[in-house]
């Protein structure tokens, strides 16, 4: 049985990890600039999440992390479908994400995210480790593992709530659209399969694409609404959706043994309440039900509201600093 953890506890763990990682990353940047500081900053931010989650699971639950989050073994023949899902969601989200970026650019809001020069082989390797792999493990463990396992209200609520915190947690309005949609899709996938490993792989592949697609000849023009991007991105959006959703359901079907179950449908999965069948049937053919009912206290409800409000406020502050040039 999976542990049922009060959502207030997970929110505290999240903000503790966020604060610890951000402080460590800031100190690393103050100690010295350059490309090494950039990689160290990324690594320390994610290390904050991993340390906070690991410490909580070990100290309070007396279990390793992957005995707390849903982590049954993935099915080998389902793994190729993670590539199709990644490509589909990336293509689908390119149009709305670029549209929001263009609108914000008109207001003077530009990305202050530092992406190292990945044409250098050493930089490319370090980027894959610190910007692609570490966030995939740390953020999926937290957002699609612990947050979803809190069993607060319904899975439908937690899908959108965890996706909201995931997108706002990047503290950039430029990233919210893609991150929110990606987070919602990954949450569904975890609920439908009972394991975070598919979402870890998709998250990793998504980050790799974000790092290296800019190297594709003509990619910049494809994102330009004043160029052929005006017709190419809508085509890619439709094509991406046509790839994404059949691939997503095919992955769930393959994981469940090749027979698509009625209970695998999106709304059937999402409308489950927290009291039972919170996760899909695992590899040992037992449901990942939580052992005991956790009462939703006033502290739960208050923190559930305050967490995204605080992150939204921090995003606004970061945006204002970027507009003024402080964040450049």
Cβ contact 219:236 at 8 Å: no
Domain count for the chain:
1
| β-strand partners of 281 | 287
Q: Which of 6-10, 99-103, 165-169 is modeled with the greatest confidence?
A: 165-169
Q: Strand, helix or coil at 290?
A: strand
Q: Say what the pTM is.
A: 0.89
**117 domain residue, yes or no:** yes
Q: What is the pLDDT of residues 57-82, one digit of tens each?
A: 999 888 888 888 888 899 999 999 99
Domain membership of residue 35 (yes or no) is: yes
Q: Place 325 in a pLDDT band, splitting at 50, 70 and 90.
A: low
Overall average pLDDT of the 97-124 stretch: 82
Q: Could you tell me if residue 82 is inside a domain?
A: yes
CA–centroid distance for 292 within its chain:
28
What are the pLDDT digits (tens) for 203-258?
999 999 999 998 888 888 888 887 788 888 999 999 999 999 999 989 998 998 76
Is position 105 within any domain?
Answer: yes
For residue 2, being part of any structural domain is answered with: no
Q: Which band of pLDDT confidence, cut at 50, 70 and 90, is reported for residue 112?
A: low
156 neighbors 271 (Cβ within 8 angstroms): yes
Instruction: Work out the mean pLDDT of the chain and round it to a whole number.
Output: 83
Report the distance separating Cα 183 and Cα 179, nearest Å. 6
- Beta-bridge partner residues of 197: none
112 in Cβ contact with 322 (< 8 Å): yes
Query: For residues 184 and 117, which has the higher predicted lDDT (pLDDT)?
Result: 184
Q: How far is CA 179 from the centre of its chain?
A: 6
Inform me whether the pLDDT recorded for 137 exceeds 80.
yes
CB 243 within 8 Å of CB 120: no
Range of the domain at 282: 7-323
CB-CB contact of 169 with 311 (8 Å):
yes
Please choose, from the candidates 299, 309, 274, the residue with its C-alpha nearest in 3D space to the C-alpha of residue 156: 274
Q: Under DSSP, is residue 73 helix (H, G, I), strand (E, B) or coil?
A: coil
Has residue 281 got a pLDDT over 50?
A: no
Average pLDDT on 161-177 reads 90
**For residue 289, is it within any domain?**
yes
Asked whether residue 328 is assigned to any structural domain, the reply reads: no
* 1: in domain: no
Which of 290, 295, 263, 286 shows the shortest CA–CA distance to 276? 290
Average pLDDT over residues 123-133: 93
Alpha-carbon dihedral sign for residues 27, 29, 33, 37:
positive
Residues pairing with 71 in the sheet: 195
């Amino acid at each position: 049985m999976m542990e049922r953890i009060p959502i207030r506890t997970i929110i505290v763990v999240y903000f503790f990890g966020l604060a610890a990682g951000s402080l460590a990353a800031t100190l690393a940047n103050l100690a010295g600039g350059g490309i090494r500081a950039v990689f160290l900053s990324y690594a320390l931010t994610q290390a904050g999440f991993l340390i906070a989650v690991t410490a909580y699971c070990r100290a309070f639950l007396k279990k390793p992390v992957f005995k707390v989050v849903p982590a049954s073994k993935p099915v080998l023949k389902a793994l190729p479908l993670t590539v199709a899902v990644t490509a589909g969601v990336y293509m689908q989200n390119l149009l709305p994400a670029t549209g929001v970026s263009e609108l914000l650019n008109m207001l003077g809001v530009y990305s202050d995210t530092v992406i190292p020069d990945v044409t250098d082989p050493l930089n490319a390797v370090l980027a894959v480790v610190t910007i692609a792999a570490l966030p995939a493990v740390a953020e999926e463990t937290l957002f699609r593992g612990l947050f979803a396992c809190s069993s607060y209200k319904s899975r439908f609520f937690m899908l959108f709530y965890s996706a909201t915190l995931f997108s706002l947690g990047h503290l950039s309005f430029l990233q919210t659209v893609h991150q929110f949609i990606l987070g919602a899709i990954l949450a569904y996938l975890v609920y439908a399969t009972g394991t975070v490993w598919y979402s870890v792989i998709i998250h990793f592949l998504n980050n790799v694409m974000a790092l290296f697609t800019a190297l594709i000849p003509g990619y910049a023009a494809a994102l330009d609404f004043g160029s052929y991007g005006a017709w190419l991105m809508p085509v890619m959006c439709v094509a991406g959706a046509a790839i994404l959703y059949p691939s997503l359901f095919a992955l769930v079907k393959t994981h469940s043994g090749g027979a698509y179950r009625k209970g695998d449908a999106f709304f059937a999965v999402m409308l489950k309440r927290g009291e039972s069948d919170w996760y899909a049937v695992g590899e040992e053919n037992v449901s990942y039900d939580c052992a005991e009912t956790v009462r939703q206290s006033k502290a739960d409800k208050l923190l559930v509201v305050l967490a995204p409000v605080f992150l939204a406020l921090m995003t606004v502050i970061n945006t204002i600093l970027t507009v003024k040039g402080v964040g450049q």
